[in-house]
Amino acid sequence: MATNTLNLPEQEYMLPGNRACAGCSVGIVFRHMSKALDGKAIFVVPASCFTVLCGMYPTASVQVPVMNSVFPGTAACASGIAASLKKQGRDDLTVVAMAGDGGTADIGMQGLSGAAERNANVFFVCYDNEAYMNTGTQRSSLTPLGAKTTTTPAKGKMQFAKDLPAIVEAHDIPYIATASPGYPGDLYDKVCTARGISGTRFMHINAPCPPGWQFPTAETVAMAQLAVETGAFILFEIMDGKFQLTGKSLALADKDNRQPVRKFIELQSRFGVLDEETLARLQERVDERWRKAVARHRAEE
């Protein structure tokens, strides 16, 4: 049975009070991840929003061990921990490398690729808030086309976000999934699955950011759900090469009732400069990725 908010474990690994911004989705992400891991994990975190959220011992807001890595070295540092734990015979712990979109897809890409190619026993999680939010919203390679950031001030970003799961999949690792704080039960179940697999596992999590995306702090979950309902973010998992849509995305594919991307982005002021042509290009890209995902799901069902 799929997990929902009623049958989640009671145990909390996130303490009340942390340094995240109001409405931050990363708290929702970590809370459900840590429950799924039963707290039996070591987190490796580079410079990012999450390292600020965690705080520092002895005033940390999380009840799992956390270690800071250098910005480009998250996957490598996690690989080192995993190698040492193996030598110590500790197979009860999951080594989680948890980085933002910059720490994964920009400066962290080389380290992630190295770890994935070696199939290091690491669970790499990218929480993607689509820009360098911790340093004040500078563009990243996962910032969507047309989004205004502090380093794309004139017309918004000129390029599409790169397809991160596709890059990681090229490494032929045992498990890849996407997840959303809008659907925490789906997220929880995928982390449980990842925990039961050894080798490199990768999860790409959509992480709406009120100050960076510029929407009201109470709308975080609604925003995460709209990303999925419009197909701008697709929920799936790839187990040993087999691709399957999951949760809400699977339901959308069955009913064929996706919402237009406009509904998702018109609530975010970062797209305030978007013209109709750019919006059409965004919609076209979303449609194309959605068609491919549905076709692949049906072919591999």
Binding site for another protein (CB under 8 A): 47, 51, 68, 70-72, 102, 106-107, 109, 132, 134-136, 138-139, 141, 150-154
Q: How far is the CB of 70 from another protein (least distance, A)?
A: 7
For 91, other C-beta atoms within 10 Å of its C-beta total 10
User: Is residue 61 within 8 Å of residue 18, measured between CB atoms?
Assistant: yes
Angle at 28 between CA 232 and CA 22, to 5 degrees: 95
Q: 215 in helix, strand or coil?
A: coil
Q: Are 101 and 140 in contact (CB under 8 A)?
A: yes
**Nearest distance in Å: CB 168, another protein:** 16
How far apart CA 150 and CA 156 sit, in angstroms, is: 9
**Of 68 and 119, which has the nearer Cβ to another protein?**
68
Q: Which CB atom, from 43 or from 236, has the smaller least distance to another protein?
A: 43
The least distance separating another protein from the CB of residue 150, rounded to whole angstroms, comes to 4
Q: How far is the CB of 201 from another protein (least distance, A)?
A: 24
**Shortest approach of another protein to residue 73 CB, angstroms?**
10
Residue number with CB closer to another protein (141 or 259): 141
In whole angstroms, how close is the CB of 103 to another protein at the nearest point?
10
| Sheet with strand 66-68: strands edge to edge | 66-68, 41-45, 94-99, 123-128, 201-206, 175-179, 236-239, 242-245
Nearest-angstrom CA–CA distance, 171 and 257: 33
- Looking at the Cβ atoms of 153 and 216, the one nearer to another protein is 153
Nearest to 29 by CA among 190, 163, 154, 255: 190
Taking the least distance from each CB to another protein, the nearer of 51 and 230 is: 51
Q: What is the 3-state secondary structure (H, E, C) of 139-202?
A: CCCCCCCCCCECCECCCCCCCCCCCHHHHHHCCCCCEEEEECCCCHHHHHHHHHHHHCCCCCEE
Nearer to another protein, 100 or 182 (CB): 100
CB of residue 110 to another protein, shortest distance in Å: 9
Task: Give 119 or 138: the residue with its C-beta nearer to another protein.
Answer: 138
CB of 135 to another protein, least distance (A): 4
* Of 102 and 182, CB closest to another protein: 102
User: Strands (DSSP E) along the chain, which ranges?
Assistant: 41-45, 66-68, 94-99, 123-128, 175-179, 201-206, 236-239, 242-245
